[in-house]
């Protein structure tokens, strides 16, 4: 009986091992076909074009993809990825299920939610790229995007954390409360501002304030309701009513982007700028675009942290090449370069040696709060 049981277990282990080997061989064959199909194709990558470092990085990635795989990465620069979302919805309404102009998207948050809801993204994308096994799925919040499960529809590409970059002697501690920010504005009128929502940095500033003022109310991490908004938002508007008259131009106009705000910080017009890249300060100092005396800070509840992703539309014309591009962009050499402040400074989603520690984290709000905050802010202050 013992010998029979042992033999059966051994045979079972051998069968499982053979199945694993066969599955691995099949996956390699499948990926070889993807590589062959992708050769000679151009990937039209719709991504934000407002950063010189990002644009340079993507030009480097294009060169690497050309030389390694015969794939061209064409960066289609957009000021807001919502433009691409609108185009995909227009395609759907027109019945264009193939031959789409967009092959690859840089998305997260409400834009991902909209595309997932409308079933406009290529399914099982994450498992289709071999390098997905390197992703730190057990250490970083990569499986949920602004409160909604990713479900394999997008591939993590980088991490973001909301932080403040301040001129010398602006704040005495790394942690800053809304009350301390307001007090600084009172003592230094005209020296603070924030990008105008719906700029992502400006909206995240509002979310950080709301998070702090509402004491991390659990309803912020669930779909927004009229009741929750009526109970949580008045304190935020009351705070902004006090802050705005103390801002640059008395809060009547705002920087149009985070890049503009950072330039005004460099020029000395402002004492504080906001960023969603925890390594941006180091990168700008190294490049000589900010003085070495600046310091980094975050709101006292922690830095709102989320991931940004890559996705392929269902009607993309060059899906194989898009998958090859994604697989390269999450590879160690591509992630290493992206994380390097000499090039971009965007935190990696894979394990890298000597990677700088992230800031203390705060959770991202559910995506439904984003549009609610933007709409009400615009109605109140513009």
Give the CA distances from residue 51 to residues 58, 197, 260, 277, 286, in Å, rounded to whole numbers and listed in that order: 11, 18, 11, 12, 16
Q: Does 183 lie in the same domain as 49?
A: no
312: confidence class by pLDDT, cuts 50, 70, 90: very high
Answer whether residue 330 is part of any domain. Answer: yes
Answer whether residue 1 is part of any domain. Answer: no
Looking at residue 149, the DSSP 8-state letter turns out to be E
Q: How many domains does the chain have?
A: 2
Answer whether residue 61 is part of any domain. Answer: yes
Q: Does 54 lie in the same domain as 20?
A: yes
Q: What is the pLDDT of residues 123-168, one digit of tens each?
A: 999 999 999 998 876 677 788 899 889 999 999 999 999 999 999 9
Q: Does 344 lie in the same domain as 278?
A: no
Q: Does 82 lie in the same domain as 26?
A: yes
C-alpha torsion angle, residues 372, 375, 381, 382 (rounded to 10): 170
Q: Does 141 lie in the same domain as 239?
A: no
Question: In this model, does residue 52 exceed pLDDT 80?
Answer: yes
Residue among 35, 26, 117, 107 at smallest CA distance from 68: 35
Answer whether residue 111 is part of any domain. Answer: yes
Q: Is 6 exposed, middle or buried (0-12, 13-18, 19+ CB in 10 A)?
A: exposed
Q: Does 134 lie in the same domain as 171?
A: no
Least confident of 17-31, 114-128, 156-170, 211-225: 17-31
Residue among 48, 46, 28 at smallest CA distance from 317: 46
17: confidence class by pLDDT, cuts 50, 70, 90: very low
CATH number of the CATH domain containing 218: 3.40.190.10
Q: Does 147 lie in the same domain as 165?
A: no
- What residues make up the domain containing 299? 161-305+362-381
Question: In this model, does residue 25 exceed pLDDT 60?
Answer: no
CA dist 226 and 372 (Å) reads: 10
Contact 221, 147 (CB under 8 A): yes
Residues β-bridged to residue 313: 121
28 by DSSP, 3-state: which? helix
């Amino acid at each position: 009986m013992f010998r029979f049981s042992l033999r059966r277990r051994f045979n079972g282990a051998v069968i499982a091992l053979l199945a694993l080997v066969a599955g691995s061989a099949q996956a390699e064959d499948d990926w070889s076909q993807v590589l062959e199909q992708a050769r000679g194709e151009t990937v039209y990558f719709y991504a934000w074009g407002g950063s010189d470092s990002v644009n340079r990085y993507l030009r480097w990635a294009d060169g690497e993809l050309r030389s390694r795989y015969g794939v061209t990465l064409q960066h289609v620069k957009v000021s807001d990825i919502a433009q691409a979302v609108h185009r995909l919805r227009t395609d759907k309404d027109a019945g264009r299920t193939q031959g789409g102009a967009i092959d690859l998207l840089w998305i997260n948050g409400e834009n991902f939610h909209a595309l997932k809801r409308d079933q406009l993204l290529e399914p099982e994308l994450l498992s289709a790229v071999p390098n997905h096994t390197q992703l730190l799925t057990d250490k970083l919040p990569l499986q949920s995007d602004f409160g909604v499960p990713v479900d394999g529809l997008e591939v993590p590409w980088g991490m973001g954390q909301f932080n403040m970059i301040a001129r010398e002697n602006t704040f005495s501690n790394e942690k800053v409360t809304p009350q301390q920010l307001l007090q600084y504005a009172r003592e230094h009128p005209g020296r603070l501002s924030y990008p105008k929502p719906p700029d992502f940095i400006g909206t995240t500033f509002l979310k950080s304030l709301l998070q702090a003022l509402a004491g991390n109310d659990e309803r912020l991490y669930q779909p927004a309701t009229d009741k929750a908004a009526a109970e949580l938002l008045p304190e935020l508007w009351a705070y902004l009513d006090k802050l705005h008259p103390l801002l640059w131009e008395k809060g009547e106009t705002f920087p149009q982007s985070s890049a503009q705000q950072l330039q005004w910080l460099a020029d000395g017009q402002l004492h504080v700028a906001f960023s969603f890249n925890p390594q941006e300060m180091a990168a700008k100092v190294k490049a000589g675009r900010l003085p070495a005396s600046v310091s980094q800070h975050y709101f006292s509840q922690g830095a709102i942290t989320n991931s940004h992703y890559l996705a392929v539309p269902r009607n993309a014309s060059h899906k194989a090449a898009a998958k090859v591009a994604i697989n390269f962009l999450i590879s160690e050499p591509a992630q290493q370069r992206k994380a390097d402040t000499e090039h971009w400074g965007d935190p990696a989603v894979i394990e890298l040696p000597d990677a700088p520690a992230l800031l203390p984290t705060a959770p991202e709000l559910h995506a439904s709060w984003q549009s609610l905050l933007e709409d009400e802010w615009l109605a109140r202050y513009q």
